[in-house]
Amino acid sequence: MALRQMLSAAEAFLEEAGAQRTVLPVIQPADPFLDMAGEDLRRRIFLTESETGQALCLRPEFTIPVCLKHLQERPPEPIRYGLCAQVFRQHRDGDSEFFQAGIEDLGTEDWIAADARALADAAGLVARLRGSDEGLVATLGDQAVFAAILEALGLPEGWQMRLLRAFGQPNALANALAVLSGREKAAVTEDDRVAQLLQSGDDEALLAHVEASMASSGISPTAGRRPKEIVARLKERAALSATRLPDDALAALEAFIALRVPLAEAGRALSAFEAEAGINVTERIELFAARIEAIRLAGLDLDRITYDAAFGRPLDYYTGLVFEIGLEGHAKPLAVGGRYDRLLTLLGADRTIPGVGFVAWLDRIEPLEAGR
């Protein structure tokens, strides 16, 4: 199937799924992505400036632009936005333009049903474009479950935030646990002057030093993290480096992260973990189990879905469900998605607007379909 045919087929699927076709500008304000998208995406954005000095970028994904559009136009909710267009990200292999298609579901209060529908639609779109669902598998995680367990274990708030930022990033999570256990010393900074300023508590001098260092290195204050954000992270690292987690809590956290079971068994596995760890996250486990049933009722084969307690996506705005759909024997996912209930509030909404969505990578599906 040629790319043009795939685009037409994707648009037809989105319409059948009740998604309103949506066109987003290629040029987007950069600040929301720099502030909320996460380190991985931040490094890969194509940045530029307007004539007035406003930081702009080529559209690197759909979720933030859809949310901005929603807040500007304020249509009735719930609403499903259908997207089918290019995104632009820097990659080491040289490719920088990718075709994606997906749905962003905003304002659906029944989040359990919306999560199941997002997963089902993502799998359905990939199967439609490939001409078959043979060999499709999914991995599912839940950041809300992870957050509930961190709180139940009594971790300091700063460590909860750090571990949540590391969720879905195995190396970052392993490094954080090594520091918490005392097996490794936290690497706050390699800059002796920064270390001195952190110890002195002189925030103004620290900020001036960071700004001067960035300027001397030719780094724009709008490229990646801003100086104030860097200072905040440095101070946070310094404060957290002295914290140690009790052995029983650390063992429980490591046992949770190691959970990887078929989705049909996930509810029982989480309940067994809860009992073994001696914590109370029953309400969150019951909600997770209700979503498993909703996924089953949506027509998905639970035997093809794996629950991985440590699985996440490298985007900071996710709050609950995260998933990817792939093909057995292939490393790269064909579709990814998740829930982002706090994103619209961060972007300026005066109330919580629930959101969940997914995208399929058409460029990855095309050669697989052609080789069937």
81 annotated to a ligand binding site: no
293 annotated to a ligand binding site: no
DSSP string, 109-171: S-HHHHHHHHHHHHHHHHHHHHT--TTEEEEEEEHHHHHHHHHHTT--HHHHHHHHHHTT-HH
89 annotated to a ligand binding site: yes
Token pair listed for 191: 């800059």
286 annotated to a ligand binding site: no
Q: Is the peptide bond before 78 cis (omega within 30 degrees of 0)?
A: yes
Using CA atoms, how far apart are residues 70 and 78, in angstroms rounded to an integer?
A: 11
**C-alpha distances out from residue 108 to 7, 284, 338, Å:** 27, 19, 14
Q: Which of 28, 112, 66 has the alpha carbon at shortest distance from 359? A: 66
313 annotated to a ligand binding site: yes
Q: Which of 106, 86, 76, 78 has the alpha carbon at shortest distance from 24? A: 86
63 annotated to a ligand binding site: yes
104 annotated to a ligand binding site: yes
Token pair listed for 329: 């024997």
**C-alpha distances out from residue 332 to 126, 230, 324, Å:** 13, 32, 9
Q: Which of 319, 183, 328, 307 has the alpha carbon at shortest distance from 245? A: 183
Using CA atoms, how far apart are residues 333 and 195, in angstroms rounded to an integer?
A: 41
DSSP string, 268-310: HHHHHHHHHHT---HHHHHHHHHHHHHHHHTT--GGGEEEETT
100 annotated to a ligand binding site: yes
Find residue 138's DSSP bridge partners: 305, 325
169 annotated to a ligand binding site: no
Binding residues: 61-63, 89, 100, 104, 313, 317-318
Binding residues for L-histidine: 61-63, 89, 100, 104, 313, 317-318
